[in-house]
Structure formats: structure tokens, C-alpha cells
Amino acid sequence: MSSDQPFITDESQVVTETRDARMTGQGDRFNSRLREAFGSSPFILTKFDKFLNWCRGSSMFMLQFGIACCSIEMMHTYAVKHDLDRFGSGVPRASPRQADVMIVPGTIVSKFAPRMKRVYDQMPEPKFVVGMGSCTISGGPFQEGYNVIKGAEEVIPIDIHVPGCPPRPEALVYGVVKLQERVANGEAAPVTVKPYELEEFSDLERDELVDKLTDQIDDDELVMRYNFADSP
Amino acid sequence: MSLERPDTTDDAAIERTPDELEALLGDLVVARDDHLNAPGFVIRPDTVQETLRTLKQQAGYDHLSVVSAQEYENRYESIYHLKKYDDPTQEVSVVVPADKDHPVSESAEPVFRTADWHEREAYDLIGVEYEGHPDLRRILLPETWQGHPLSMDYDKDRPQIATLPEHANPLEDHHKDEESDTMFLNIGPHHPATHGVLHLKTVLDGEQVVDVEPDIGYLHRSEEQMAQSGTYRHQIMPYPDRWDYISAGLLNEWAYARAAEDLADIEVPEYAQVIRTMGAEMCRIAAHMLALATFALDINGDFTATFMYAINDRERVQNLLEDLTGQRLMFNYFRLGGVVWDLPEDREAFFSDTRDFLDHLPESVEEYHNLITSNEIFQMRTIDTGILPPEVAKNYGATGPVARGSGVDYDLRRDDPYGYYDELDWDVVTEDGCDNFSRLLVRMREVEESAKIIEQCVDLLEDWPEDERNIQANVPRTLRPDDDAEIYRAVEGAKGELGIYIRSDGTDKPARFKIRSPCFSNLQTLPEMANGEYIPDVIAALGSLDVVLGEVDR
């Protein structure tokens, strides 16, 4: 940094400078420590991808998505004291179409998995997922449950897992910052096998169960088929 | 704690002995099957309505707490746990056995409206069919589910299919006729105002609600199965924290602790009861703060001031709870027979932190009154909207702030005392408005009452002699309650009457573990409050009910 004076503490000086700058035109108003770091050259040379990834990682829009216990800690992470906004992962958006990042905060059960997949599909690319809590890793304390999907990764790909039951807000902040780092470095999420897909009923392989349900479900209705015997 | 009920003769509710009740029911009673908490009368499956109507109208049992169903080797059984709103220590169980091959039993829905959902749940999970039920379909599991998961021959590993039918075009299919312009609208299951994964199937006529039907089960994570596969002593206690997860953990743990302690006849030391009482009321404050925060969010809009203020106060009380229990949200602090450890060292610092919080609280409550209850817009949205008359609330089995906001003076901490509540000086809060505003006021005033309770507990704990600080009773390493003992016990959770029914089978795990969730009954009242109102009132009514889906779906 070329600036000798890191901070100007005298407020009257700031006000004067700002006013002067307005009167004389552009002046120093657009100056910044970053700008000074570049020195006399107004240009930087970088790869476009790298620049774009830096932008993506620095400003992430979260999806307001509450499922279970973890969503309470997620709310605390957004709110005062922990304030996730400090890291550029701002206030949550209610619509999936405005969001980049989905935090999955809780247990996924049979009835909800198709809906979660649908919400995930509605988010625009590129999109990222933070799995919050043990339930999204393996089903957590409810792993033995007859109705519980053994981890969110059975349904959608997950970039970062934050363990805990529930994770503390600090842990979630750490997870989100790690995700931002990865995004800024252009690291892609690992390709995962998703055993449960949303598909049309007529596309399912015919078996005993499908035959039994033919009267109840239309051919073009979207369904998700769970193989609990093969789950980890 | 003794299982005998105090002999109170209120003129509104004459207490009858079990024999008098049996005489009242006459030929309807086939046999006696007494539970630890109440006399139990076995009746024939086709006389359910007659029996319940007699008990309701002639003996004053006006509160159907819960319907718990289960399967035995040779029969199915539904139990109707009845109580009185005026005196919940007067209980009676109506036991209805049903045939093993064709489990059919008469529905209680025409007598108690609340039986609607409870019987649907019993049908869904156990497989008992209720004759005369208006709408008997699955409630928690997808409609295409195969088998009844808590029945004996259920195969957990079989494949299942869940559907996503919501992509149908709602505009075309839901026109009532050529002239009408009703419209079908899905609210949820992913929606910021549903407080979790609740799905409201709403039919609108213009901007007015013609019909709203809550569709639940998006967070049904088999809590009852989890409890039934855990041992009494240690493995069940972590789960109650996750039923009502709005920081009401200790209140939920108390529900299980109370039922299991009475079942196994464990006496809790007084010192532990004071700590329990203090911790539970801290949880109640935290839970009501979040109810206030999210309600303000629903009414006032985006992430605004009230939400941040209330979360700030929640952080304070969570810090105290973290000092006490070691966790922010899932405390796992109670043990059967007491609590896991004593107050944190150094005690003086903990007491002074608690007192600081209590000193600060009146100022915060004042701030909330300035921010919301005296706000004109807020009043327009909440006063005289979402009306729930007391008789309707009772018919639906509503409890907690929802019932007290309708003027029903029912609080188990006072009416069926447990812990240290009956030694302390505090009041039950009721409001007569029956609307959204009253329910909010009840919560805000309850926060102040909880603060009074905590303050008295802190005084007691400070002066407690050092050599009498007994935090746990002597409890056997493995608990095996008597074979075929049954008990239903409830405590006043943050949302209302949170009850547990346990049947033991002589092993160290419960044979049947049924959770009576207050939110489940409270949510049932939503159509009563919302039908005919405008759509923003539905959101306000839902917010004022303060349901938590973890507890509704279990």
C-alpha cells in the first residue's frame, strides 16, 4: 500500500474533502486504498474467469429455506450478533429464482424430498448448496427412521457439509466462508451420484409397487422412488 | 411425586370416583383397564360416540387430549385420553379394542372435533380404520405410502414412491362452476410465512378465503419410532429437544421426564426441581421471543427491526442456557430423576448474569410494546382478525397461549402442578379478545411471568445449603418398568399441553410411545379462524398460532 495514512479520523477533514471534491469535479472522491495499490496504472490484467469467480464469491444470495431445527440456528446466523452479511452473503431471498446458495437446514423426509428437488431446480445456474447439520449428511439422529432420507446428497449435490446437531452459527459462518473461497478459486463441486431422481411415473421401471399404484398415480405425474433397502 | 390426585371439588366440575363413572356409563363398559394416571374403561368399538358423549355432557370431560392407537399380538387398540379444562387432574381413559384382522372402530369426530386429525394419524401410522370419520386418509405420510409403519408387520426396507402433484394447473381444475371465479392457491411447503415446511391448500374467492386445509407431514421424521427403539434411561432424552426445536428443549425434556418418572416411580430431589423450573422458564422466554419475532416478520414484512431486537434478547437467554447446559439449542440436560449437572461454576457469576438479563427484560418488553403492540398498522392487522371462540378452541383441544388468548383459563403448571411451580408466586395469563392480538399479548405477558419465576428460583438457589445440593435421585442403571403399565402425563410446553403416553412391556424400551403435540391440535383450528377472512389474515392467524412443524409432524 502506498498510503501512509490508513485512516482519516478527523471527521471535519473528511467532510471538507468531500465538499471540495464535489465542487471541483471528480477529484479524490473515487480514490480508494485499492486504487492506490495499483499505483499509476489504471488497468489490471486478469483472466476473465478469475475475475468473475471473485465477483461470485464476494456476493452471494442465500435462499430463505427453513426445514427443521437447524433453521433456527440459521436464522441466528443471519441476524444480529453473528450477522452473515459481514461476509458478503447477504440477507436471504425468499424466491429460489433470486438465489445462488441454498442452505439445507434439516432432516429430509420422503414427502419433502421431491419438493426440495423442485426448489433446487428452480434456482438459476451457477448454484451452490451448503448442507447444514448431521441430518443432511446421513440422516443424523433420525437415520433409522422409516420416513427419513439418509442425507440430502441422495437428492441434490452438496458442496459443503457443516456437521453438528445443530451446528453453531460460527460453524455455519465458517462453512459459508469456505464455500465462498472455493467459488472464488473456481473449484467445482465433486460430481455425486444421486440415487433419487424426480421423474415421470410412466418412466419408472415396472415392478410390483408400480403396478399397485397405477390406479392412483397419473402417468405424467412427477414421482420420486425410494429404495430404502439400498440406502447407506 | 404422588400419582394421587388432589381432592378438589369445584362447583363447575364435580369429581366422580372411578366407580361412579362406571355406574354412569352402565352397560357401555365391558371391562376395566386402569392406567397409572386415570381409570380406564374398555368399551365395544361401536359405542365410542355414545360413551364419549355421556362423559362429555354428563360428567364434564370436555377435553380430548389425544387419541393413541397401538397394535397388540391379538388386537388393535385406540385409547381416548379425556380430561377437564377446569381441572385437568380429573382424567379418564376410554379404551377401544378392535379386531386384529379388520381393525374398525367408530369415529369420535362428531363428539370431539379434534378427533379428526388424531384418528387420521392413528389410521396412517397404525392402520386402525374409523367408521363414520368424515375424511379418513393419510395425514403424515404421502398418500401413496405402502403399509402402516408402526404396525407389527411393517417392512422398513421396502421401496416407496412419493408424488409431486402440485404441478397441476390450479386455475382450471378448481373452478367450482362456470360462473364462479374461485382459485386454488398453494402456500408452502417452501414459503417464508409458513414457519417451516407447512403446506396450506387454499381456495380463494377473489381475495377472500373460502377454504384452507393444512397439509402436514413434510417433517415427519419418525420421532415415535425413535423413542420406541431407545432405552428409557439415556437414549430417549436427546429426542424431545428436537420436537419443539424453538429452544423449548427443556420443556419438552420435562414432558418425557415426568411421564417416565411417574411410570418408574422415581422421586426427583427438590433442588433439581428448582433448577428444572428455572431452566424451563428460560426456554419459555426464548421460545416466546422467537414467536414474537416471526409474528412481527409476518405482519410487518422483511427482516426488520422487531425481528432483530427479539433475536438479540434470545441470544441473551441462550447464552444463559448455554452456561447452564453446555449447548445452545439441543440441551439434553434433564436425566430421569434430576438433571445432569449442577449450576456452572462460578455460581455467583451465573446468578449475576441471570439477574442482569432479568433486570434488562422489562425495558425490552416495553420496547416491543412501543414497536408492535402500539403500532397502528399492526393493530389493524391483528385486532378482530382470526377469531377463535372459547367453545371452538375447547372442541379442537387447543391449549397453551392459543387457548389462553381465547379466555380459556388452562395452564398445567398451575392446574396439574409439577416441578416447583406450586411453591412459587406467579399468575396464569389470559386474554378475552379471542383474536390474533390477544394471542400475542398472552405470550408477551407470559414472558414477564416467566421472569418472575426465574427470579424466585435464583433467590432459592442462591440460599440453598451447600451440602443439600442433590441433583439426581438414585436411579437404577437399567430401568424396566412393570409389564403392561400405561401412563399419560403432560406438562405445559411453550405451545401448550405436551403429553406423553407410554406403555411398558417389561423390557428397557417402551412398547408404545405416543407424543401429544400441542401444535398438532392448535393447527387444526386454522380453518375455523381463516375461512371467510382475507388472505393476509390467514398469514396473521397462522403466525399467531405459532406452530412449529417439528412438533406438528414429529
Cβ-contact B266, B475 below 8 angstroms: yes
ipTM over 0.90: no
A101 and A207 in a single domain? The answer is no
Res A31 pLDDT > 50 = yes
Work out the pLDDT band at B355, boundaries 50, 70, 90: very high
Check whether residue A212 and residue A158 sit in a common domain: no
- What percent of chain A shows pLDDT beyond 70? 81
Do both A112 and A162 map to the same domain?
Answer: yes
Closest partner residue to A209 (CB to CB) among B161, B307, B330 is: B161
Beta bridge partners of B516: B499
Q: What is the pLDDT of residues B303-339, one digit of tens each?
A: 578 888 888 999 999 999 999 998 888 899 999 989 9
What would the mean pLDDT of B421-435 be, rounded to a whole number? 89
More confident residue, B284 or B303: B284
**Distance between CA B106 and CA B52 in Å, rounded?**
11
What pLDDT score was predicted for residue B386? 87
Residue B161, pLDDT score = 87
A 148-187 near B (Cβ less than 8 A):
148, 165-166, 168
Q: Quick one: closest CA in A to B309, which residue?
A: A80
Grid cell of A21 as nine digits: 471534491
pLDDT value of residue A1: 42
Q: Quick check: A206 contacting B, CB < 8 Å?
A: no
Q: Which residue of B has its CA nearest to A139?
A: B221
Residue B10: what pLDDT?
A: 45
Q: Does residue A74 form part of some domain?
A: yes
Chain B residue numbers with beta carbons less than 8 Å from the beta carbon of A210 are 161
pLDDT at residue B167 in the model: 52
Mean of the per-residue pLDDT values for chain B? 87
Supply the pLDDT for residue B180.
64
Would you state the cell numbers that stand for residue B31, as one nine-digit string? 371391562
Q: Between chain A and chain B, how many beta carbons pairs sit less than 8 Å apart?
A: 170
Q: What is the pLDDT of residues B105-141, one digit of tens each?
A: 999 888 999 999 999 999 999 989 998 888 888 899 9
Strands B160-164 and B129-131: unpaired
Global pTM reads 0.86
User: pLDDT value at position A27?
Assistant: 56
Residues A94 and A146 in one domain: yes
- Residue A37 in any domain: the answer is no
- Do A204 and A165 lie in one domain? The reply is no
Cβ separation of B161 and A66 shorter than 8 Å?
A: no
Shared domain for A86 and A175, answered yes or no, is: yes
Chain B segment 164-203 residues within 8 A of A by beta carbon are: 164-167, 189-192, 195-197
Average pLDDT over residues A81-88: 86
A143 and A220 both lie in a single domain: no
Residue A90 lies in a domain: yes
What pLDDT is stored for residue B354 in this prediction? 93
Q: Give B-chain residues touching A111 at CB under 8 angstroms.
A: 141-142, 162, 217-218, 220
Q: Taking CB atoms and an 8 Å limit, are B161 and A226 in contact across chains?
A: yes
Confidence of residue A9 (pLDDT cuts 50, 70, 90): low
B8: pLDDT strictly greater than 50: no
* Contact: A209, B315; criterion CB under 8 Å: no
| Nearest-by-CA chain A residue for B159 | A227
Yes or no: say if A1 and A37 are a contact pair by the CB < 8 Å rule. Answer: yes
Mean pLDDT of B277-306: 85
Which one of B157, B173, B197, B252 would you mutate to disrupt binding with A, by most A Cβ within 10 Å of its Cβ?
A: B197
Across B76-83, average pLDDT: 91
Q: Does B170 score more than 70 pLDDT?
A: no
DSSP letter for each residue of chain A: ---S------HHHHHHHHHHHHHHSSTTTT--HHHHHTTT-------HHHHHHHHHHHSB-BB----SHHHHHHHHHHSTTT-GGGGTB-SPBSSGGG-SEEEEES--BTTTHHHHHHHHHHSPSS-EEEEESHHHHH-GGGTT-TTB-S-GGGTS--SEEE-SSSPPHHHHHHHHHHHHHHHHTTPPPPP---S--EEEGGGSPP-HHHHHHTTTS-TTSEEEEE-GGG--
Tell me: pLDDT of A129 over 80: yes
Does A40 reside within a domain?
no
pLDDT score recorded for residue B488: 92
Residue B11 has pLDDT above 50, yes or no: no
Would you call A146 and B149 a contact, using CB atoms and an 8 Å cutoff?
Answer: yes
* Segments of chain A assigned E as strands: 101-105, 128-132, 160-162, 198-200, 222-226
How confident is the model over A153-206, as pLDDT tens digits?
888 888 899 999 889 999 999 999 999 998 888 887 666 667 788 888 888 888
Q: Indicate the residue of B143, B197, B221 with minimum beta-carbon distance to A148.
A: B221
Q: What residue numbers bound the domain in which A208 lies?
A: 198-230
For each of the domains in chain B, give its residue range(s) and CATH number, in order of start.
18-131 (3.30.460.80), 223-464+480-553 (1.10.645.10)
> Cell numbers at residue A52, please?
468473475
Residues from chain B contacting residue A146 (CB–CB below 8 Å): 149, 154, 156, 222, 225
Any idea how long chain B is? 554
Q: What single string gives the DSSP state of each residue in B116-184?
A: HHHHHHHHHHT--EEET-TT---SSS-TT--S-TTSTT--TTS-EEEEEGGGS-HHHHT--SSS--EEE
Work out the minimum CA distance from A194 to partner chain B, whole angstroms: 16
Co-location of A134 and A210 in the same domain: no
C-alpha cell at B347: 455460581
Q: Which three cell numbers stand for residue B279?
A: 431452566
Residue A4 domain flag: no
Element (H, E) at B29: strand B29-32
For chain A, first and last CA: distance in Å? 54
pLDDT score for B4: 43
Residue B320 has a pLDDT of 92
Residues from chain A contacting residue B328 (CB–CB below 8 Å)? 73, 168
Check CB contact of A54 with chain B, cutoff 8 Å.
no
Nearest to A111 among B141, B156, B223 (CB): B141
Overall average pLDDT of the B399-425 stretch: 90
Reported confidence tier of residue B21, pLDDT bands at 50, 70, 90 = confident
Tell me if chain B has a CB within 8 Å of the CB of A97. no
C-beta atoms of A225 and B159 within 8 A: yes
Crossing angle, helix B347-368 and helix B305-325, to 10 degrees?
160
pLDDT tens digit sequence for B450-495? 999 999 999 999 988 888 888 888 888 888 888 888 999 999 989 9
CA atoms of B430 and B409, how far apart (whole Å): 6
pLDDT at B185 over 90: no
Predicted pLDDT at A191 = 62
Using a CB-CB distance cutoff of 8 angstroms, which residues of chain B are in contact with residue A213? Answer: 144, 161
Percent of chain A with pLDDT over 90: 14
What is residue B402's predicted lDDT score, i.e. its pLDDT? 92
Query: CB–CB of A155/A118 below 8 Å?
Result: no
Tell me the three state secondary structure of residue B209: strand
CA neighbours closer than 13 Å in the CB half-sphere of residue A49: 5
Angle among Cα A210, A212, A214 to the nearest 5 degrees reads 65
pLDDT at B9: 42
- Under the banding of pLDDT at 50, 70 and 90, the label for residue B5 is very low
Residues A64 and A149 in one domain: yes
Same domain, A154 and A107: yes
* B162:A210 CB<8 A: no
A111/B245 CB distance under 8 A:
no
CATH number at residue A81: 3.40.50.12280
User: Are A153 and A68 in the same domain?
Assistant: yes
**Do residue A146 and residue B189 have CB atoms under 8 angstroms apart?**
no
Is residue A14 domain-resident? no
Kindly give the residue spans of alpha helices, DSSP state H, lying in B424-534.
436-462, 518-524, 526-530
- Whether A27 is covered by a domain: the verdict is no
Do A203 and A159 share a structural domain?
A: no
Tell whether the model's pLDDT for residue A11 goes beyond 70: no
Q: How many domains does chain A have?
A: 2
Does residue A221 sit within a domain?
yes
Share of chain B above pLDDT 90, in %: 33
